[in-house]
C-alpha cells in the first residue's frame, strides 16, 4: 500500500501507512480499544502540524462537568489551567469538551442530517500526547466521535477519505476490496515554500506582511476552482501557524480519482524548480486564460505586497537575481551600473528603473514585447501561489481537521471568510487559552440581580467566546452544502421516475 500523508503548514506531516511502521502504543490501549497496526509513533510531533442554531453544540457552564477516559467526573475549573501550556492535555480536554463544533463537523462530512456511510466509513487519525499516531478510526455518529476524542484526548486529529468499508474492519473484508471511494479535493499553501522570496520572516515565523502571500494565493486559486472547474463549495481554513488549507466539498470534487486530482493540481502549478534553480516561470505566449487572469489579479498586489513590503531586490545579491530574470545583456549592464552607484536603492525604484533604462538604452537586441513578457513572468514568480501539489493529488491523503488546535501556537484552525480576505490576520486568530479565559470571564448579560436565575444553561460556550464568528461561518457553509446535496438527491430521484 502506498504511503499515506497529511498536509500541514509545518511541512513534516507525511504519515506513513501504519502497517509499515508498527510501534509500541505506550499506554494507548488504556484509553481506547485500538489495534497495534493502527498506531504510528512520530519522532518530531512538536514540529507537526442560515443555520446558526444555538443548540447544536454541547452547552456547559462553569459548574458543569464532563467525564474523562477513566469515567471519573472532572470539574471544569478553567481558572486552574489558565497558566498551563496550550498543548497541555487538560487544556485540550476542556477545548474538545466545550468548544469543538462536533455536530457541524458531522453534518459537513456526512452530507445529510441522518447518519450515513459518508461519515461511518470516513477515516479519522489521531495524534496522541504520547507521540503515537492512531490511524483508521471511524464512527457512526458525532456523539461516538466526540466520546472517543474525550477518551483519547489527542493533541489534534486529521480527516481522511470515505472508504468502501469501515476503516476499522479493513482486515476483515476481501483482499483488494478495501479502497478509498471519495474525499474532498484539498489544497495546502505553506509560507515555508516562500522562504526564498519573503524577506520579513523565515521558517516558522510569520507576520502580516508575508501573510499577504497567502491572501494572494487564495484569491488566485479560489477563482480558478470556481470559474474554470465549476466548484461552488470551497472552504478555506487557517492551518494554525503559517498556512491555509482549501477543502473543495462539491460532490463532483469528492468523487474525483487520483488522475483527475493530479490534473487539477498540475493545471494550477506554473512555478517550476527548487530554490537553487534559475528562472522558475517560463510561459508560452499567448498566456493561458487562467495565467492571464492570475496576472491581472496579482499585478495590483505586486507593488505594495512585494516591492514595498518585501523589498526583494534591495541588496546586491537580490538585485543580481532580478537581472538574471531580464532578457537583454546590455540592459542588464546599464541597470547594474546604475544600482552600484546608488547602494541600498529600494526595490520599487529598481523596478521603475527597468522601463526607464529600456527607453534610453542603445541595445539592438532588446525587444519591448519580450521585456514586457519577462516582467510578467517576474510578477508571477514573486506572487503566484506555491502549492504543495502532493497534498492535492491523492485520494487517500489526510488533512488536519478544521477547528483543531495547533500544538505549537495554541491557535485554532478557523475557517477564513473569503468575502473579507484582506481583513484576516493570523495574529488575531483566537488561541485555546484565550478562549478558555473568555469562558471563565463571561458575564450573563440577561441576569440583572444576584438572586435572578442565570441564562447560562441556554448559552453555549462557543457563544461566550471570540470563536463564535468562525463557528457561524462554518455553520453557514455547511448549510449551503447540505442544501446543494438535497437538491442533487431530488434531481437523481426524479430521473429514476
Active-site residues: which are they? Answer: 123, 188, 190
Q: Which residue has the cell 480558478?
A: 224
DSSP 2: P
Residue 415 — φ and ψ, nearest 5°? -70, 155
- Cell numbers at residue 421, please? 480576505
235, three cell numbers: 472552504
For residue 220, what is the enclosing H or E element?
helix 208-227
| All three cell numbers of 179 | 479502497
d(CA 416, CA 438): 21
- Cα-based distances in Å from 445 to 159, 405, 449, 452: 38, 29, 11, 12
Q: Distance between CA 314 and CA 320 in Å, rounded?
A: 10
What SS3 state is found at 261? helix
Q: What is the DSSP letter of 303?
A: I
> Maximum distance among all alpha carbons in the chain?
90
Distance CA 188, CA 153 (A): 26
Question: What does each C-alpha distance from 398 to 3, 21, 136, 278 come to in angstroms?
Answer: 11, 17, 11, 33
Query: Cell match 479535493: residue?
Result: 185
Q: Nine-digit cell at 315? A: 541588496
Which residue, 461, 468, 430, is CA-closest to 63?
461
String of b and e for 291-309 (b: at least 16 CB within 10 Å)?
bebbbeebeebbeebbbeb
Is residue 237 within a helix (H) or strand (E), and if so which, with residue range?
Answer: strand 234-238
Spatial neighbors of 491 by CB under 8 A, at least 6 apart, are none
Residue 408 to residue 411: CA distance in whole angstroms: 8
Amino acid at each position: 500500500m502506498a504511503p499515506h500523508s497529511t498536509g500541514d503548514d509545518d511541512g513534516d506531516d507525511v504519515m506513513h501507512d501504519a502497517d509499515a511502521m508498527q510501534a509500541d502504543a505506550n499506554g494507548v490501549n488504556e484509553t481506547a480499544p485500538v489495534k497495534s497496526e493502527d498506531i504510528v509513533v512520530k519522532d518530531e510531533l512538536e514540529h507537526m502540524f442560515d443555520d446558526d442554531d444555538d443548540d447544536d453544540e454541547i452547552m456547559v457552564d462553569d459548574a458543569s462537568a464532563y467525564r474523562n477516559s477513566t469515567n471519573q467526573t472532572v470539574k471544569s475549573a478553567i481558572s486552574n489551567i489558565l497558566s498551563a501550556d496550550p498543548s497541555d492535555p487538560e487544556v485540550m480536554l476542556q477545548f474538545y469538551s466545550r468548544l469543538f463544533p462536533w455536530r457541524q463537523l458531522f453534518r459537513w462530512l456526512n452530507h445529510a442530517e441522518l447518519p450515513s456511510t459518508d461519515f461511518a466509513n470516513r477515516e479519522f487519525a489521531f495524534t496522541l500526547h504520547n507521540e503515537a499516531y492512531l490511524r483508521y478510526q471511524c464512527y457512526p455518529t458525532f456523539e461516538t466521535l466526540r466520546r472517543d476524542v474525550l477518551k483519547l484526548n489527542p493533541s489534534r486529529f486529521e480527516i481522511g477519505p470515505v472508504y468502501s468499508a469501515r476503516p476499522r474492519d479493513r482486515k476483515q473484508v476481501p483482499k483488494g476490496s478495501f479502497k478509498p471511494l471519495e474525499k474532498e479535493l484539498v489544497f495546502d499553501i505553506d509560507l515555508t515554500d516562500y522562504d526564498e522570496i519573503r524577506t520579513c520572516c523565515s521558517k516558522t515565523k510569520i507576520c502580516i506582511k508575508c501573510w499577504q502571500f497567502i491572501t494572494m494565493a487564495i484569491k488566485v486559486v479560489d477563482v480558478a476552482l470556481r470559474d474554470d472547474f465549476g466548484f461552488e463549495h470551497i472552504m478555506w481554513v487557517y492551518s494554525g501557524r503559517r498556512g491555509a488549507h482549501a477543502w473543495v466539498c462539491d460532490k463532483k470534487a469528492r468523487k474525483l480519482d487520483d488522475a483527475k486530482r493530479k490534473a487539477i493540481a498540475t493545471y494550477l502549478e506554473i512555478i517550476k524548480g527548487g530554490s537553487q534553480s534559475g528562472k522558475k516561470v517560463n510561459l508560452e505566449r499567448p498566456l493561458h486564460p487562467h495565467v492571464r487572469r492570475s496576472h491581472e489579479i496579482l499585478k495590483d498586489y505586486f507593488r505594495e505586497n512585494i516591492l514595498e513590503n518585501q523589498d526583494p531586490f534591495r541588496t546586491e545579491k537580490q538585485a543580481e537575481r532580478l537581472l538574471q530574470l531580464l532578457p537583454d545583456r546590455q540592459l542588464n549592464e546599464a541597470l547594474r551600473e546604475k544600482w552600484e552607484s546608488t547602494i541600498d536603492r529600494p526595490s520599487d525604484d529598481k523596478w521603475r528603473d527597468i522601463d526607464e533604462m529600456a527607453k534610453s538604452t542603445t541595445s539592438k537586441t532588446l525587444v519591448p514585447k519580450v521585456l514586457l513578457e519577462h516582467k510578467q513572468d517576474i510578477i508571477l514568480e514573486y506572487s503566484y501561489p506555491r502549492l504543495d501539489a502532493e497534498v492535492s493529488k491523492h485520494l487517500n491523503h489526510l488533512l488536519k481537521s478544521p477547528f483543531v488546535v495547533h500544538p505549537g501556537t495554541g491557535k485554532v484552525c478557523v475557517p477564513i471568510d473569503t468575502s473579507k480576505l484582506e481583513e484576516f490576520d493570523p495574529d488575531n486568530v483566537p488561541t485555546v487559552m484565550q478562549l478558555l479565559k473568555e469562558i471563565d470571564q463571561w458575564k450573563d448579560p440577561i441576569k440583572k440581580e444576584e438572586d435572578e436565575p442565570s441564562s447560562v444553561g441556554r448559552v453555549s460556550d462557543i457563544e461566550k467566546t471570540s470563536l463564535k464568528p468562525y463557528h457561524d461561518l462554518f455553520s453557514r457553509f455547511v448549510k449551503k452544502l447540505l442544501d446543494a446535496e438535497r437538491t442533487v438527491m431530488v434531481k437523481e430521484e426524479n430521473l429514476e421516475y
